[in-house]
Amino acid sequence: MIGIKALVCLAFCGSIGMTFLFLACALPGYGNWYPFFVLFFYVLAPIPLAVAKRYTEGTAGSSAPLDVAIFLVACLMVSAFGLPIILARVEVIQWGAAGLVISGNIVIYLTMFAYFIMFSNEDVDYSMW
């Protein structure tokens, strides 16, 4: 069973990342909700790993479904970082909003990574944290 402190920390980090995203959209200087489309990448990113986890036969070596899932997650993450840069480059959003979205991306994806690390092995007792 995972510790309550770890879950609270993950929730806090996720809310900080979402706050960066909301600030990039809602601040009066930026006033544009196009950066909010990054949420689609947040929703789609963990799906390939969750599906591939069911089809792996063991932890020894690498498996094709896991490799494809990691590739798809990497593509989605690059797209999530590239979208605000492209929107700022064509002057749809301002560079400050793009910076806030990128910093939100870093926090959200590190939170997702920490979640998958914590729940990757069900045999480990997390109460010792």
| 19 has pLDDT over 60 | yes
Q: How many whole angstroms separate alpha carbon 103 and alpha carbon 18?
A: 10
pLDDT of residue 107: 96
pLDDT of residue 122: 56
Instruction: Give 116 or 70, the one with higher predicted confidence.
Output: 70
Q: Please tell me the pTM assigned to this model.
A: 0.83
pLDDT of residue 63: 79
3-state secondary structure of 2: coil
Question: Mean per-residue pLDDT for 72-98?
Answer: 95
Question: Mean per-residue pLDDT for 51-57?
Answer: 80
8-state DSSP, 45 = T
Residues in Cβ contact with 101 at an 8 Å cutoff, skipping those fewer than 6 apart: 20, 21, 24, 35, 38, 83, 84
* pLDDT band (50, 70, 90) for residue 125: low
| 127 has pLDDT over 60 | no
